[in-house]
Structure 1
C-alpha cells in the first residue's frame, strides 16, 4: 500500500487540513497516476477488531438469506450492508483523510453511495483482470475520475491470503475489446502482470482507489479469510447510486452530524429492509480461466 506519511489523528476543516497535513497534489497525483493511494494506521487495531467481528456476523447472516451475498468467484463473496450495521460507520465516513481525499478528487458535493465488504475465503482463485463497472464518459472522454472506492482490511494481509492486485495507471485504458466494458481480453494480461502490484495492508490501514483501475483478487492459499470493507463515493453526475440501496432508519439518521448527512445518498425507512444485491459482476463467477 502506498503511504503518504500523513498524521491520521488530525481533525478539522478542509482548508485547515489542506494547509497543515494533507497535500492535494499528492492525493491527485496518486489517484490520477497509479490509481491508488493509502494511509497507514488510520484506525486503531481495537477499532478494526470490532469491525472484523461485526463483519463476520453480518457475513454469516447474509449467507443464510437469498440474495444476501453475491458471488465474486469461487469461495469469494461481496455483501452490501446498511451503514448502521457497523458501529464505526461515522468514524470511517468522517475520518479527516477520507473527507480530504473525497473533496480533493470528487469536489465538495461528493456523495457516499455504497458500503459493503468482500470476503475471499480459503480456496478462492485468481479473478480475471477487471474493472468494477464500465468506465463513464467523464473518464474515457473527459479524463476525469468521478468515483472512488475506499478499502479497509479487517485482518493483517500476507502473501498467501490472496492479496488484492492492481495494475497502476490502467484507469485510463480505453475499453477496446473489453467484455461488458469491464473485462479486458487475455492478450492484454501480460501488460497487467508486468505492472502488477500486490497490496498487503495491516489492520488500521486504509486505501482509496479508482475502481476503474484494472485489478483482481488473487488465490487465497491460506486457511484464513481476508475480509475488506468497501466504501463507495461519487462525484455529482456519477450514477453508481443506482446500483445500490443505501438505507437509513430515521432514528439513526437523527444521530448523524449535519456535515455527514449532506454527503449521503440514502432512502429513509422506519425499519431496515434486507438488501438484495443488485451489483452482480457476472464475469467473476468462474474465476480466471
Structure 2
C-alpha cells in the first residue's frame, strides 16, 4: 500500500521504518511531506497573525527571551485536514500509539532575534517515575514555515533520552556521550517526536522569526489543561465522524476575537 500526499509517497514498509525510529530515538524525520505551496500559504497567514497578536494583551505566550508561543485559530489555511489528519502522519501514530488518540494542540514556537539557548528540558513528566520507562503516550508533530538553518534557531534534541531517567540523560549529554543534535529542515519537512526526550531551542540570530508549527497528539485518557482547541461549529460539522472524535476541542458558534495565551510553564 502506498500513501500519497502532494508529491510525497510512502509505502507501508517506510511507515514501519519511521515508526521504529520514533520508538528507538524519540524522533523521526519525514522529508518533503507537505507541498511547498501549502507551506507558503501558512507562512503568509502566520506573518499577519503574528503581527496582530504582538499588539494584543496576552496575544503571545512568552517562552524566555525573544521566544514566543502562539495558538492558531481554527480558520483557513490552518484548518486543514490534509495537515492535522495527514494519512502519513496518522499512519505513523497508528503504529506507535496503542489506544485511541486525540489532537489537542495546534500552535507555533517562534524564536526571534535576541533569543538564546533554552535550558535542556522535557515538555511532559513521566507517567509514573523515572525508574519506569514511559511508553509514547504523547507526541509532537512539528513542521517549519521557513527553512531551518544553523542561524535561525534549530530545534535541538538528544536521541534516545525519552527512555532514560532525566538525571542520567543530562549526565550523558554533559559528558558528550549523547550529542544535542540540531535538526535542519526545509519547508515541507516534518518531525514527529516524544516530548519526554531531552531537548532545547537554540538562538535565532537572524532578523526574521522562525515559526515552527506544533500539533500535539495524546492518548485519549491524558488530561491536557495547558493546551486547547476551539473550532467553529460550521467547520466542525463538515468533518467526518472519525475526525470529530480525534479532535479534543470546544465547539463554538463563533471564534473569540481575542484570547490570551495560557501555556507558559512548559519545562520539566
Counterpart CA distance in 2 for 1:269 and 1:147 is 26
Counterpart CA distance in 2 for 1:128 and 1:192 is 16
Residue number among 230, 242, 259 corresponding to 2:214 in the alignment: 230
**Once the 2 structures are TM-superposed, how far is the Cα of residue 9 of structure 1 from its aligned partner?**
2.9
**Once the 2 structures are TM-superposed, how far is the Cα of residue 263 of structure 1 from its aligned partner?**
0.5
Equivalent pair of 2:146/2:186 in contact (CA under 8 Å):
yes
Residue in 2 that maps onto 1:66:
57
Equivalent pair of 1:81/1:275 in contact (CA under 8 Å):
no
3-state DSSP class of the match of 2:126?
Answer: coil
Q: Is residue 9 of structure 1 aligned with residue 34 of structure 2?
A: no
- Over 4 Å off, 4+ runs: 22-25, 191-194
Counterpart CA distance in 1 for 2:207 and 2:236 is 39
Residue in 2 that maps onto 1:247:
230
Counterpart CA distance in 1 for 2:55 and 2:48 is 11
TM-score norm. by structure 2 comes to 0.88
Equivalent pair of 1:139/1:146 in contact (CA under 8 Å):
no
Residue number among 105, 117, 122 corresponding to 2:108 in the alignment: 117
Equivalent pair of 1:167/1:192 in contact (CA under 8 Å):
no
TM-score norm. by structure 1 comes to 0.82
Residue number among 55, 78, 95 corresponding to 2:86 in the alignment: 95
**Once the 2 structures are TM-superposed, how far is the Cα of residue 222 of structure 1 from its aligned partner?**
2.1
Residue in 2 that maps onto 1:198:
182
**Once the 2 structures are TM-superposed, how far is the Cα of residue 226 of structure 1 from its aligned partner?**
0.9
Q: Aligned-residue CA RMSD in angstroms?
A: 2.8
In structure 2, the CA distance between the partners of 1:258 and 1:22, relative to structure 1 (3 Å rule), is: farther
In structure 2, the CA distance between the partners of 1:193 and 1:65, relative to structure 1 (3 Å rule), is: farther
| Superposed counterparts of 1:46-85, under 5 Å | 46-84=37-75
Residue in 1 that maps onto 2:202:
218
Residue in 2 that maps onto 1:146:
137
Counterpart CA distance in 1 for 2:138 and 2:90 is 14
3-state DSSP class of the match of 1:232?
Answer: strand
Of 111-120 and 231-240, the range deviating more from structure 2:
231-240
Considering fraction of residues, name the structure with more helix: 1
Residue number among 123, 128, 134 corresponding to 1:132 in the alignment: 123
Considering fraction of residues, name the structure with more strand: 2
Counterpart CA distance in 1 for 2:232 and 2:207 is 37
Q: Structure 2 unaligned segments of length 5 or more: list them.
A: none
- Equivalenced residue count is 265
In structure 2, the CA distance between the partners of 1:192 and 1:164, relative to structure 1 (3 Å rule), is: farther
